[in-house]
Amino acid sequence: MHEFSLVMSMLDLAEKAARADGARRISAVHLEIGALAGVVPEALEFAFEGARVGTMAEHARLEVTYLPAIAYCATCQSEFELDNRFGIAVCPSCDTPSADLRQGRELQLAHLEVEE
């Protein structure tokens, strides 16, 4: 249930950004989460429901974009998307395993919607 720690960190960043912008209320929070970030969507939503109470984001929507995992094949010098959920990064062109993950670990607060 590390999602609770993530949500606390997210709310802290969101409130700072909203205040810096002169806003008084956060109406939406938009996250980008990589496919290999180890986040369980239901756990994230559950943590958000609890943690937002009493914050500027108390009535905010949580919007999440899940990003696919992308690895780089040094042999083919090209990126490819992992077609499985098991972290297996084997180049579909040359069958070489890749350790070079270019996308998929993201835990990013992308943007907010705020109101006066």
Q: Which residues bind another protein (CB under 8 A)?
A: 1-2, 5-6, 9-10, 12-14, 17-18, 21, 23, 27-28, 30-32, 35-38, 41, 61, 63-70, 79-90, 97-99, 101-103, 105-116
Least distance (Å) between residue 53 CB and another protein: 19
Comparing CB distances to another protein, the nearer of 49 and 83 is 83
Residue number with CB closer to another protein (41 or 54): 41
**Nearest approach, Cβ of 49 to another protein (angstroms)?**
15
* 13-31: burial string, b at 16+ Cβ within 10 Å, e else: ebbeebeeeebeebeebbb
Spatial contact of 3 and 45, defined as CB atoms under 8 Å apart: no
Strands 78-81 and 70-73, by their bridges, are antiparallel
Query: At closest approach, how far in Å is the CB of 23 from another protein?
Result: 7
Distance (Å) of CA 8 to CA 11, 12, 15, 44: 5, 6, 11, 11
